[in-house]
Chain A
Amino acid sequence: MIARLLGGDGQFRVGDDVVEALNELDAQGAQAVEAGDEENLHRVLGLMAKTVRERGEPLADDDLSPSDLIIPPDDLSLEEAKELFSGDGLIPDLPVG
């Protein structure tokens, strides 16, 4: 599968074991947001990014493959995380001409 680390790290090809680890961490991340625990959120997102960087294979910059997994930036604030779950969803609109 292909995982993207949002915020500049780009895309990585990851194996099933990594996907499994990411899913576990992801559940912890959602709990941290729900509990309003920013420190834990950063820890979890940091671990997710580290897992992908260390155990994944980076994709070339000119690869056009879409990602299967998209991981928020590891310094995401609690406020931003909440924004991600609300209507507009944190990410700015793309300029559509």
Chain B
Amino acid sequence: MPGLMSRASTIVKAKFSKLLDRAEDPTETLDYSYEQQLQSLQNVKRGVADVVTAKKRLEMQTQQLEQSVVKLETQARQALGAGREDLARQALERKSAVQQQLQGLDQQVQQLEAQQEKLVSSEKQLQAKIEAFRSQKEVIKAQYSAAEAQVRIGEAATGIGEQMADTGLAIQRAKDKTEQMQARASAIDELTTSGALEDFTSDQTQLDRELAQLSSQSQVDDELTKMKAELGAGGEKKELEQ
């Protein structure tokens, strides 16, 4: 089995050998290649923007899931307060399932954050190299014979092509990661509303309804107690007056 380094080199070089094949008229190739680099840089910028947007959406989704954990906790407390331990247990079980899933997601968001930072630095490197190529191509055009120019173009284009492949890989990986996480967040989201936890499926609303009933019931109970107390106090007064 060949090593990882030699395999990575082979693949990276194979990806941009097509670019070098076009070097027939050096001057033309230089300008053409530069145009192509600028176009590729635009693609890279778009790719980076896409990843940033997807990551933001994912962070929002994670926040929503965190809120649902808080909500389930409150519901469990209410249920227990009303002496409904069965409902409290259901809410806490669901909360723990969501929490477990969220933990993995948090780690992934951190990984994505690191990948994104590297992606931005890779974009910066590509931009710097393209600018260097632009000034070098003018020097090559002005100072070198066709044969020498060919060699120099080959080197410069190899350096750029390698960077393009590197940045392209970074974008691809960040996109894949974002998509995986998006799928995972949606799966957890389903967990809180319907889906995997079959027992909860039908009673997500049922649970809500029962808890709402409980809380309105306890409100009624409270008011009744208060009224009884008032009436009781009034009655005593009357008795005293008599």
Contacts and interface: CB of A to CB of B under 8 A. Distances in A.
A66 to B, nearest CB: 4
A37 interface: no
Contacts of A18: none
A10 B125 contact: yes
Interface of A: 4, 6-10, 22-23, 26-27, 29-31, 33-34, 45, 60-67, 69-73, 75, 80-81, 84-85, 89-97
Interface residues of B, number: 54
B162 interface: yes
B132 A63 contact: yes
A9 B118 contact: yes
A89 B128 contact: no
Contact of A30 (B2, B10, B161): B2
Given A27-B3, A91-B11, A66 B158 contact: yes
Interface stretch (B51-59, B64-72, B165-173): B165-173
Interface of A is mostly: loop
Nearest to B125: A61
Q: Top 8 closest A-B pairs, CB basis?
A: A8-B118, A64-B159, A61-B128, A89-B11, A62-B132, A26-B3, A66-B158, A62-B128
Given A70-B9, A84-B11, A7 B168 contact: no
Contact of A84 (B4, B125, B158): B4
Given A29-B3, A94-B164, A64 B132 contact: yes
A66 B11 contact: no
27 contacts: A6-B169, A6-B170, A7-B122, A7-B166, A8-B121, A8-B166, A10-B122, A10-B125, A23-B3, A30-B4, A33-B1, A45-B4, A61-B129, A62-B129, A63-B132, A64-B159, A71-B4, A71-B8, A72-B5, A80-B173, A81-B4, A85-B7, A91-B15, A91-B169, A92-B169, A94-B18, A94-B161
Nearest to A67: B162
A85 to B, nearest CB: 6
Most chain B beta carbons < 10 A, residue from A8, A9, A81, A85: A8
Given A63-B159, A64-B155, A81-B4, A94 B121 contact: no
Contact of B173 (A7, A26, A85, A96): A7
A47 B125 CA distance: 23
Given A33-B4, A72-B8, A64 B166 contact: no
